[in-house]
Structure 1
Amino acid sequence: MIIGAGPRGTGLLERLAANAAELLPADRPLHIHLADPYPPGGGRIWRYEQSPLLRMNSMAEDVTMFTDESSTIEGPVRPGPSLAEWARHTEEFEPYEPIADPAVREELRTLAPTDFPTRRAQSAYLAWVFRRAVADLPEHVTVTVHRDTARSVTGPADGPQLVQLTDGVLVADQVVLALGHLGSAPDPRHDALAAFAARHGRFHLPPAFSSDVDLSGIAPGEQLVLRGFGLAFVDLVALLTEGRGGRFEQTAEGLVYHPSGREPVIHVGSRRGVPYHSKTGYRLQGPPAPLPRYFDATAVDALLAGHGPLELRRDVWPLMAKDIGFGYYHELFHAHPERTALPWAEFLAGYDRWDWYSPELTRLVGTAVPDPADRLDFEALDHPLAGLRLDDAEQLQQHLRDYITTDADRRADLSYSADLGAFLALLSLFAQLPRVMESGRLTARSVAAELDEWWFGFFSFLASGPPGFRLRQLLALSEAGVVRFLGADLRVEADEATGTFLATSPTVPGHTVRATALIEGYLPKHVLDRTDDPVLRRLHRAGEIVEEVVDDATHTHRSGLLTVSPADGRIIDPTLGDVPHPRRTALGPHTNGRAYAAFSRPRTDSPAFRQNDATARALLRALAGRRAAESIVAAAR
């Protein structure tokens, strides 16, 4: 049984279909149950029933659910269309099913490969992928979908598992928790502000999934502090502006926002104080860089062969950074040689020789790349407002408009395609990074502060930003006075005397914004002991699952993630002596596999696809070895 029929459950089903002919004899019938209260394919996050204003932050050609020639998997590669390829020829891909919504039909009909689709369009693609996965199963494998919520999983390690649904109990030989992105009870650090809001009748929203929130409690014209500048911020602003009847108009002077009068005044700030960098809207102009070059299997072998603990920033990041730089400069030298002062071969010889932080490499780049704007500077990217102190809030508004304009212009300008080279190199790091994460060699402090906090945040800031048009919209909203910028290192406090939230930032010393509404505008982090999933909650209370804890002599890090076996996702069960449970598996972002996106960019050897394949093969081998004539694999939400 698979609990969860969203992208991860669907991807696992596709791999079960691909591997069944090899690993499951035709005389061993298999019945797969999937349980999810939301439609299969999209699941909760990618369901059709959400605002048409919400979009993906990936271009249509960069989204696939299928393995390809780059996939390093044990099972068979089964290519399939990307979202862009499927959208162009939906009627030609079996099993075909007409799309009911005319707006989605029209969007798919006119979707360009470099467009950023609505989430509704992605929902339609995922629904088709699910239908194809079911159709690809051999005749002796059947599927039943339960539009229901799994409540609990019980049963002995050496016997059938009982899966309690709302309307009955299913008996399964194997259970997979493909639960997707999960929420948790609010972090206790939000309790004081939540209690303050309740006492004074103010609006307070802890981290939440944007498509699920109720924003009706925010009044027109109300002063709102929105803490967070990432993708959740982008969605929330769309819902609070266009979602309330405002509209954008393209004029000769640029994009203009016409308020409806129902919007709040949105004051936004964060740790960095700037929005995520927008996605590029173009393709490479030169040949693809042969990645990886420095952070490859051989380099990771050497790291892991050493003795003593590893630190991500000290030991691993220099290799990662050098590969990102290689992707960046490879594109700059090949696509824009007029902005370089050395032949590529000469530059590469020096680049190969010197370490990332060496003064020799700094001098080489300074010589070879005359314009500082063409040099890759991670510190400046990571801390764009560091040390900036302005006299008043209006100076900050103009400074941020200039910063956002520069970023949006650069990400739309083919002459800066080296940025895309860096982005592709960033993605390539995930071919080897899981080995480092799973090695147990990183110190607990490094896992906490450098891996889970800094690295994934930095990656999202550089590589998981919104489409460029969202930054143009943000500029228009700023010009209209609907959005106001607060600065970096945002601090929010409660003022009992006035019943208001006070927002301050060192970027504008002495400036304070008073607000009557506060939104923590970032996605919730799943924490096992506060999970909102009933299956995990009951297993945790029973002591049959355990949170990942990384500790050493100097630090203890509780990640909040479910501990599983890295090889195949088997759940580690403390009641069995902290060994993998033979009948329970979990995949996805709630596990310490730190699974990356369930769908991926084509030809990038997606780690999630590798996980799906390994898990599918382990499940099929276990099921093929059973003595019973029938077996059930349950796929859970």
Structure 2
Amino acid sequence: MPHTPVRTHSTAATSIAIVGLGPRGTSLIERLGAHLDAAAARGDARADAPLDLHLIDDAQAGAGRIWRTDQTRELCMNTLADAVTLFTEPGSTVTGPIRQGPTLYEWALLVRDGASAAVPAAHAAAFSAHPTRQGLAADYRAELAELRPESHPSRALYGEYLVWCFDRAIAALPASVRVVHHRARAERIARVDGRERLTLDTGATVAADAAILATGWLPRTSTPAERAIEAKLADHPGLTWVRQGSPVDQDLSGVPAGEPVIVRGLGMGFFDTMALLTIGRGGVFTPDPAAPGGLRYAPSGHEPIIHVTSHRGVPFRAKSLYRSLPPRAAQTLLREVEWDSIPRPINFDQLLWPRIVGDGFIAHATALREIRPEALGTDAARADAALGAIADAVRTAIAPILAGAASAAPTATVDAVAAAVAPHIPSPADRFDLAGELTPVDVAFSGPAAFDAWVAERVAADLRAAEQGRANALKAGLWSISSARAVSSRIGTLGGFDAESRRGGYALLLAVGGMVGSGPPAFRSSQLLALASAGIVHFIGPEAALTVDDRGFVASSPLVAGSEVVAPALIDAWMHFHRLAETADPLSHSLVEAGRARPFTVAARASGPAAGTRLTTGGIDIDGPTGRLRGADGTVDAAVHASGIPVDETLHDTVISPMPGTDPFMLRETDRVALSTLEAALAATAAPTLTSTGATHD
């Protein structure tokens, strides 16, 4: 519903528009209010000037489309309950005032119990200052009763938290702000008479002095492969193709029961699809200690037979059950460099990847020392010395790569470090097989049954490792690799890595790090094993080719003999990342068409064969400190900002939800973009800018 204006403004009021009201849009509203409060505290007369804040989204305000509260409770977060917040914390490097509030888990405790000694007083006070909706606790009674800090909450519950954060941010705005909520989609923006005119899909227009595009996941035009499928389907209208997208938006109703369906993707999108096609259709999992993964599946009869494939052919690894928040990886080699002093662009393959790989092997060996020191070829009393020898071997192996005297090819680096460490860990079964994560399937299989059995055993072994939490060396090594994504992303922001690295080692880190560290909750792997045992899920193999003929969709893997599957339905279980040059979003297109936006590009290595060229990324080019768009000629836009996922390939790390205790990137981004937007809007109305003098605390 539209929010009630807090006061009536004249047509001279300064006006700001925010497009997109998911988590980032909500944070932007909160940060706008925080900066206005800071200005008032400094005695800035403009802090009480009339300001119209136009909020534009056709999805649920606060939750957005992905986290909307009316979705099935079967879809869960991939983040732990106490590992996400939308509030700044003491020690944060935001420039505006710090406004504390509860994490999702703390908020859930307060919803359930009304009070909790486990919640910091400042967080509880923020909760008490704004009511939750009536009936919330009753609607989520069962989930709230079982929730723990390390639980994976339903997406709907997270949506409720976001809606509460949104409503609270609105309520906390100064009385000088009039909020106008437009339940519509912005389709065009143009500069008219010195202001931004946004055209909505309702036909209405909004005038603003400055705007922020916090649009989240945006549609792309079809890829060549997708256009080929489209052409085939024109002659086969009886086939069902569920195109890529968020699982909450995908329509699976056309997937027939009892028939085979081909699913492409084995990441989180697949596990969501798996849940929707099984328990979402009435199937039931029951505990059975004797069954694979500890579960048995009782079919409802409404499930299809799921045949799944992906580039690597195996499911993402399950998250470890630490019974707490994940540990902080040491990453000694990666963190010992003052990266800010290294000239840009950096050769990631040469300077970062060897350190990341070395840290992974050292983390694995460190865990072995704690769990089974005899695996290091010595007794417990000499385990520290053995570990030191491994660390020395790693440094020796990567030294020529760092110096440019040896190949910096990412796979060659892995092989070099593995060879250096191997003599110190006698049994091959105890060694860290990082190469096996890069290419999990490197042999041919005699048939589908053999491959199904091999994948099931891999998933079962991974689940056993996940259940060991910190007491598993493989998971420790993989967690080090996965955690390096965050550090690397900060180093590589705004073109910090050269174009060759973006295609090479950095892309490999993101892909492998996602597979080993951003996989499903462990219970989903248990469910997968039960479904495989029940004959509901089968694995086609890696690199499966897909065609369409008169029989239907056809897929087969070159590494699994006899793997061909024919199905009347195909599900693409992933989401395309935004690419500005291929956008299907009319709002983004209007900016490109007007020369006000351009794709972000990255320079190639000065001494390489591509010297002088630039790689075009999918991200929107922006001015880093402000988030303002860069136009086709490189000039910084006076009024329009972009924030979040559409600039991920520009800034990096924008997809990750804010994690408490980490000075989250997202909150630092929304803070600086909110301040820049206020300055732009006030400049447009000939008002002095608001300059923050530092954070203040509640």
- Superposed pair shares fold, TM > 0.5: yes
Aligned in 2, Cα 1:623/1:193: closer, same or farther, shift over 3 Å?
closer
- Find the partner of 2:659 among 587, 596, 601: 601
1:34 corresponds to: 55
Which of 194, 203, 221 pairs up with 1:159? Answer: 194
Please say if residues 62 and 164 of structure 2, whose CA atoms lie closer than 8 Å, have aligned partners that are also in contact. Answer: yes
- Deviation, 1:35, is 1.0
Rounded Cα–Cα distance in structure 2 between residues aligned with 1:179 and 1:268: 31
Question: Any conservation in 1 of the 2:257–2:303 contact (CA below 8 Å)?
Answer: yes
- Is the contact between residue 284 and residue 331 of structure 1 (CA under 8 Å) also seen in structure 2? no
Q: Is the 8 A contact 2:363 2:480 kept in 1?
A: yes
What's the secondary structure of 1:616's corresponding residue?
A: helix
C-alpha distance 613-269 of structure 1, shift in aligned 2 (>3 A): same
- What aligned pairs does 1:445-460 form with structure 2 within 5 A after superposition? 445-451=500-506, 453-460=507-514
Partners of 1:336 and 1:191 lie apart in 2 by 54
Q: Deviations over 1:487-523 (max 9, x none)?
A: 112111233xx33222111221343222222222221
What residue number does 1:2 align with? Answer: 18
For residues 31-88 of structure 1, the C-alpha deviation after alignment (integer angstroms, 9 at most, x for no partner) is 3221111222211111112222111112212222223356443344433322111111
1:98 maps to 133
> Which residue of the partner structure matches residue 279 of structure 1?
319
Question: Please, which moves more after superposition, 67-76 or 563-572?
Answer: 67-76
- Which of 86, 96, 111 aligns to 2:107? It is 86
The one-letter code matched in structure 2 to 1:615 is V
In the TM superposition, residue 367 of structure 1 has moved relative to its aligned partner by 6.1
Contact 1:181-1:589 within 8 A present in 2 as well: yes
Amino acid in structure 2 at the alignment position of 1:36: D
Aligned to 1:315: 351
Of 604-613 and 213-222, deviating more is 604-613
| Aligned counterparts of 1:431 and 1:492: Cα–Cα separation in 2 | 37
Counterpart for residue 334 of structure 2: 295
Q: Give the Cα separation in 2 of the matches to 1:77 and 1:345.
A: 46
Q: 2:491 aligns with which of 423, 430, 435?
A: 435
Alignment of 1:90-489 (within 5 A): 90=111, 91=114, 93-94=127-128, 95-98=130-133, 100=135, 102-155=138-191, 159-165=194-200, 166=202, 168-200=204-236, 201-254=238-291, 255-283=295-323, 288=328, 291=330, 293-296=332-335, 298-304=337-343, 310-325=346-361, 328-330=364-366, 333=369, 341=378, 342-344=382-384, 347-348=387-388, 351=391, 353-356=395-398, 357=413, 362=418, 365-366=421-422, 372=428, 375-386=431-442, 388-414=443-469, 415-416=471-472, 419=475, 422-423=478-479, 426-427=482-483, 429-439=485-495, 441-443=497-499, 445-451=500-506, 453-489=507-543
Tell me the equivalent position of 1:635. Answer: none
Q: Aligned equivalents of 1:287 and 1:43: distance in 2?
A: 31
Which of 545-554 and 361-370 deviates more? 361-370
Gaps of 5+ in 2: 1-16, 116-126, 399-412, 691-698
Who is 2:7 aligned against? none
The Cα offsets for residues 76-127 of structure 1, whole Å up to 9 and x where unpaired, read as: 4433322111111124513121354534243124311111111011101111
Q: Against the structure 1 CA distance between its residues 470 and 287, is the aligned structure 2 distance closer, same or farther, given a 3 Å change threshold?
A: closer
CA-to-aligned-CA distance 1:552-595 (integer Å, 9 cap, x gap): 56366432322222222211112xx3211020100111123234
Percent sequence identity over aligned pairs: 32
1:43 corresponds to which of 64, 69, 80: 64
1:578 aligns with 2:634: yes
2:671 to 604, 609, 613: 613
Note the alpha carbon deviations across 1:403-454, whole angstroms, 9 max, x for none.
11011111111322772575367436424533324245502x4323443x43
After TM superposition, the structure 1 stretch with the greater mean CA deviation from structure 2, 546-555 or 536-545, is 546-555
Distance 2:172 2:541 in 1: 52
Residues 109 and 135 from structure 1, CA distance in 2 versus in 1: closer, same or farther, beyond 3 angstroms?
farther
Q: Is the 8 A contact 1:244 1:263 kept in 2?
A: yes
One-letter amino acid matched to 2:448: A
1:302 positional shift: 4.8
- Range 498-507 or range 273-282, more displaced: 498-507
For residues 369-407 of structure 1, give each alpha carbon's deviation from its aligned partner in whole angstroms, at most 9, with x where no partner exists: 566555433221222112x21212111111111011011
Q: Distance in 1 between matches of 2:477 and 2:662?
A: 14
Alpha-carbon distance change, 48 to 192 in structure 1, aligned in 2, over 3 angstroms: same
Give the CA deviation at 1:322.
3.4
**Distance in 2 separating the partners of 1:331 and 1:74:** 39
In structure 1, what residue type is equivalent to 2:498? L
- Work out whether residues 277 and 303 of structure 2, in 8 Å CA contact, stay in contact via their aligned partners in 1: yes
Q: Where does residue 587 of structure 1 map in the other structure?
A: 643
Q: CA deviation at 1:318?
A: 1.5
DSSP 3-state at the match of 1:144: strand
What CA distance in whole angstroms lies between the structure 2 residues aligned with 1:287 and 1:615? Answer: 31
Whole-angstrom distance in 2 between the partners of 1:540 and 1:618: 22
Between stretches 360-369 and 61-70, larger displacement belongs to 360-369
Structure 1 counterpart SS, 2:651:
coil
Is residue 581 of structure 2 the alignment partner of residue 565 of structure 1?
no
CA contact (8 A) 2:69 2:159 kept: yes
Change (3 A) 1:417 1:67: farther
Contact 1:431–1:607 (Cα < 8 Å) also in 2: no
Query: Structure 1 pair 621/368, CA: closer, same or farther in 2 (3 Å)?
Result: farther
Higher relative contact order (CA 8 A, sep 6+): 1
- Cα RMSD after superposing both structures: 3.2
Deviations 1:215-244 (A, max 9, x none): 222211222111111111111111111222
Counterparts in 2 of 1:328 and 1:59: CA distance versus 1, 3 Å: farther
Q: CA 1:296–1:76 in 2, change beyond 3 Å: closer, same or farther?
A: farther
CA contact (8 A) 1:186 1:207 kept: no
Secondary structure of 2:352 counterpart: helix
Residues 48, 441 of structure 1: CA spacing in aligned structure 2 closer, same or farther, 3 A cutoff? closer
Contact 1:23 1:620 in 2 (8 A): no
CA contact (8 A) 1:502 1:514 kept: yes
Distance 1:376 1:2 in 2: 48
